[in-house]
Amino acid sequence: MNVYFKIFKMKYLKRFVMPVLLLLAGIFLKYFLKELDISDDEFVSSFKRVGSILLIVSLSWAAIAFIRIIKQIFLEKYDVSKENNLRSRKFQTQFNILERILVFLIVLISIGLILMLFDEVKRIGISLFASAGVAGVIIGLAAQRVIGAVLAGIQIAIAQPIRLDDVVVIEGEWGRIEEITLTYVVVRIWDQRRLVVPSPYFFEKTFQNWTRTSAEILGTVFIYTDYHVSFDALRKELTRLLESTPLWDKRVNVLQVTDAKQNSVEVRALMSAKDSGTAWDLRVFIREKLIEFLQKNYPESLPRTRVLIEGKENILKDEVDQTENSAEKE
């Protein structure tokens, strides 16, 4: 316990150094400056106001630092880098959004308190309250989309249609949830682009979440072959390939003929993997190796186009007879 307390002091208490210094400076300017022999009352009044501002800023800063420390200590128990990280991602998402909400409220209240220290702003505030009906309508209309986005961010934290590190497909783009804020969500696309999506999108439009309850996923590979292919040989080769790679999680191994078309047969190989990234690599591996297997062992089973010409001998005989008749007439 003592060791943990030392680590706690070294790691976190330094975040309160600046807030404490500002707090001491604010207390001095607001309560002890008047003890000095200063005859200028306006000077003293101005510094008392500065002291009040420093007190508000220091307390707000300390409150924000305390919230972030509590969040960090709590989330140290939940590692999102492990394979079965559904519970960890759930708490990471909730605490990150909760932290942003509290920080936003603290900053907003602090700005309001600082502005109310000035008489000019206070008079404007009283005027606004006097015309609260009109001002409320104007502000409500102007901030409607912003308020809707903030409420959607809060709803994401509660309902959790998405979590940090979830694999999603949005607008045809495959990626992972990288960041969730109060107003928008950042999706890291597979080619390292970033897709910024407004929070209300996840309640207004349809999207795919591949890791909503589990990261495990099925992958498919389609092979188009000739009718002469040996399906039993393909099944044995698929099993051999899956057992030879660590990408397969040993849950699903199926090969089926899913369609018979005019010129080819559609064969589907179904396999399972621990997550979507591994499933992609497994599908690429199986597709490549099955094609190589057909090339080496069943080259006649590759797709081909057949053309059958009937009566070819009769056509040639008619052409010869026509040539002989023409020669006799000449």
CB 151 within 8 A of CB 66: no
Helices (H), 162-212: 201-204
CATH of domain 217-301: 3.30.70.100
- In tens, the pLDDT along 152-206 reads 888 888 888 888 888 899 988 889 998 888 888 999 998 889 999 998 899 888 9
- In tens, the pLDDT along 58-107 reads 999 989 988 888 888 877 777 666 666 667 777 778 788 888 888 888 88
Output the pLDDT for position 39: 52
> 323 Cβ partners below 8 Å, 6+ apart?
none
Count of other CB atoms within 10 angstroms of residue 285 = 18
Residue 2 — pLDDT band, cuts 50, 70, 90?
Answer: very low
- pLDDT cut 70: percent of the chain above it: 75
Higher pLDDT, 81 or 118: 118
Structure tokens at 197: 């999506």
Confidence check: pLDDT of 284 > 90: yes
pTM beyond 0.75, yes or no = no
Nearest to 214 by CA among 249, 242, 255: 249
User: In the chain, helix, strand, coil percent, each to 5?
Assistant: 60, 15, 25
Residue with tokens 């002989």: 324
Confidence check: pLDDT of 138 > 60: no
Rounded Cα distance between 82 and 196, Å, is: 26
Structure tokens at 327: 């020669």
Rounded Cα distance between 72 and 305, Å, is: 64
Structure tokens at 8: 């706690």
Output the pLDDT for position 3: 39
CA distance from start to end of the chain = 120
Confidence check: pLDDT of 4 > 60: no
User: How is the chain split into domains, by residue range?
Assistant: 2-138, 217-301
Confidence check: pLDDT of 328 > 50: no
Exposure string over 289-325, b if 16+ CB within 10 A, otherwise e: bbeebbeeebeebeeeeeeeeeeeeeeeeeeeeeeee
- In tens, the pLDDT along 222-256 reads 999 888 888 899 999 999 999 999 999 889 999 99
Output the pLDDT for position 246: 92
Nearest to 279 by CA among 214, 183, 184, 187: 214
Confidence check: pLDDT of 287 > 90: yes
In sequence order, the β-bridge partners of residue 179 are: 186
HSE-up of residue 35 (Cα within 13 Å, Cβ side): 6
Output the pLDDT for position 140: 60
pLDDT mean over 112-134: 67
Output the pLDDT for position 119: 74
* 3-state SS track over 140-164: HHHCHHHHHHHHHHHHHHHHCCCCC
- In tens, the pLDDT along 12-68 reads 777 888 888 888 888 887 777 666 665 566 777 777 888 888 888 999 998 998 888
pLDDT mean over 269-281: 89
